[in-house]
Structure 1
Amino acid sequence: MTTLDPPTASSPAPRRAELADFLRSRRLRLDPETVGLPQGGRRRTPGLRREEVAMLAQTSTTWYTWLEQQRDIRVSAPLLDRLADALRLDPGERAHLFALSGQPAPIRDVPREDVPPAVQRFIQGLHDRPASVLGRRWDYVAWNRAAEAVFGDITHRAPEDRNVLRRLFLDPSRRSFYTDWPCAAAATLAQFRADSAPHIDDPWFTELIEEISARSPDFRRLWARHDVKGNADGLKDFQHPTAGRMIMEHLILRVPDAPHLRIIVYNALPDWDTPEKLRRLLAAD
């Protein structure tokens, strides 16, 4: 079992009391069989014993007892993570545990990015405007028929291939899709860098950057420049494989209840007869 650092000043008394009550309530709702422990004879009270939680969390019974006794101690994030596993906390409960302990909850994996039904209905209702929704790492998490008509198939791609950066830097066909691919690549990556700053410590972020860096010299070169660009609306100049050149402007919207989502809506501009080309693409789809 592991030990912790000596006690230090931690959260105020009300927070410690709430943390103690929360831990106790989660402990008492579990039985030994649920967590793979023997029943161990008749029990006077329901739930797990403190020493059992401590054992499962790989810490000492004394330290765990101090937490439930509202002692003024500070625990590490790894211990909180182990406590969450020991107590079988769901994602919301895990985040609550960290919040009560005054620490940000670590993100173990790419979090779920459910698109609110209202957003789904909004983009599907834009019949003549390509629209899509991007998640934290710029994966396509929703899109409409017009988006696929202009930007290519998304539905039948593997989930890991529904990523803006992977398509831009690893799909050879994207180089001919943009009238000025080097400019588009640099601007897109600078926008992604600014948008992803809150997630640089998340494992999925590191994995994504390392993967594309290993496979694309252009990505490595541009990423090393550390360019940052805000999510400004602007023009997009495409060379569609069948329709030809198309000029569009795009608008980026945020969802108040899901700020990690980006809604991108494209409007066809008159240049190069883009509205008519879009109509023909939608009619042929």
Structure 2
Amino acid sequence: MTALAERSDPARTAPEPTRRTELAAFLKACRARVSPQDVGLPPGLRRRTPGLRREEVAQLAGVGVTWYTWLEQGRPINASDQVMTAVSRALLLDEVERDHLFRLAGLPTGELSDLICPSVDPAMQVILDGLATMPAAICNRRYDVLAFNPAYDALFPGATRATAPHGRGNSLWCALTTPDCCNPFLNRDDELPRMVGVLRAAYASHVGEPIWENYLRELCAVSGRFRQLWESQQVAPATTVLKVFRHQAVGEIRVKASYLTMPGSPEVYMVVYTPEGRLDRERLEWVTAHPDAPVADHEHH
């Protein structure tokens, strides 16, 4: 088994027009989600669109209406971290959304997002290989599956094998494009909004990069569900969550997905699935011991 990490030039930044366009769209989406009552303002009359007006955001942030309007229009203006902090507070952004806003504005977030590790840390590969019955994989921030153990391959084969949708080893692509009738990932309605939110948060560090732009363009083309979620401008953190899979031989398998990172490797992470209960553990052990058993009772060609 080999693991290949994506390579990126730390000095490369997104083209300014593209980044400003993303910043404008994100600000508009966030403003639409905040009602006047949320920030202690009277509801007012004759509101043509939901959410706050631009002048209300400017008032709450203590900035000029013209300046904020230009910011939301994507004009090439300068914004300090103090001013953008005020804007983030006015829009009631959480920590993940604030960091996303700062990246789009070209401001430092205090993270290691610019330090790109050129290869998967050997320690991560050793840990991955040592997890016998716990499905585990090494992925990048686009959900490309770079390396995996047999348990992960048996549970989620569409994300790892050459027969994966469109020939891609990518967990998000598999979840979105595999037909419902034979998709092993059951609780997609709950998980897809979060997964796309995590992807959008990561995208802020890669706006304008051809490999990212092509990936997003192709996903939008093949999945209306992804396009809808992507356009919502929601961002989310990567946290431990419940994932439910199914296998025709054993039924449902419930696991907790934990995301592990290592210092200096912000573009690569390890996901480990731990069974939630005894029955889940037994079913997972059976699936791992029978890797050739098909996940579904039919295939799509």
Match of 1:128 among 114, 128, 133: 133
Look up the match of 1:105.
Answer: 12
Relative to structure 1, the CA distance from residue 270 to residue 136 in structure 2 (aligned partners, 3 Å threshold; closer, same or farther) is closer
Relative to structure 1, the CA distance from residue 239 to residue 224 in structure 2 (aligned partners, 3 Å threshold; closer, same or farther) is same
Match of 2:186 among 167, 179, 183: 179
Query: Larger relative contact order (C-alpha < 8 A, sep ≥ 6)?
Result: 2
Gaps of 5+ in 1: 1-91
Q: Matched residue of 2:267: which SS? A: strand
Query: Does residue 190 of the first structure (1) align with residue 200 of the second (2)?
Result: no
Report the TM-score when normalising by structure 2: 0.54
Relative to structure 1, the CA distance from residue 212 to residue 176 in structure 2 (aligned partners, 3 Å threshold; closer, same or farther) is same
Relative to structure 1, the CA distance from residue 202 to residue 236 in structure 2 (aligned partners, 3 Å threshold; closer, same or farther) is same
Query: Does residue 280 of the first structure (1) align with residue 187 of the second (2)?
Result: no
Look up the match of 1:114.
Answer: 119
Relative to structure 1, the CA distance from residue 255 to residue 160 in structure 2 (aligned partners, 3 Å threshold; closer, same or farther) is farther
Q: Matched residue of 1:255: which SS? A: coil
Contact 1:115 1:142 in 2 (8 A): no
Cα deviation, residue 112, structure 1: 8.9
Cα deviation, residue 175, structure 1: 6.8
Contact 1:212 1:219 in 2 (8 A): yes
The whole-number CA distance in structure 1 between the counterparts of 2:277 and 2:254 is 8
The whole-number CA distance in structure 1 between the counterparts of 2:246 and 2:235 is 26
1:166-215 Cα offsets, whole Å, 9 max, x none, are: 21212225874233322222221112212332112211111111111111
Look up the match of 2:270.
Answer: 263
Look up the match of 1:56.
Answer: none
Contact 1:168 1:175 in 2 (8 A): no
Contact 2:198 2:235 in 1 (8 A): yes
Q: How does 1:233-248 map to 2 (within 5 A)?
A: 233-248=240-255
Q: How many residues align?
A: 183
Contact 1:250 1:264 in 2 (8 A): yes
Relative to structure 1, the CA distance from residue 147 to residue 247 in structure 2 (aligned partners, 3 Å threshold; closer, same or farther) is same
Contact 2:117 2:265 in 1 (8 A): no
Q: Matched residue of 2:233: which SS? A: coil
Contact 1:115 1:141 in 2 (8 A): no
Report the TM-score when normalising by structure 1: 0.57
Contact 1:251 1:266 in 2 (8 A): yes
Instruction: Give the alignment's Cα RMSD to 1 decimal.
Output: 2.9
Match of 2:176 among 152, 162, 169: 169
Contact 1:177 1:240 in 2 (8 A): yes
The whole-number CA distance in structure 2 between the counterparts of 1:206 and 1:139 is 15
| Stretches of 4+ aligned residues off by more than 4 angstroms | 157-160
Look up the match of 1:151.
Answer: 156
Look up the match of 1:47.
Answer: none
Relative to structure 1, the CA distance from residue 139 to residue 161 in structure 2 (aligned partners, 3 Å threshold; closer, same or farther) is same
Look up the match of 2:48.
Answer: none
1:129-179 Cα offsets, whole Å, 9 max, x none, are: 110011132211111111011111514457950122221212225874233
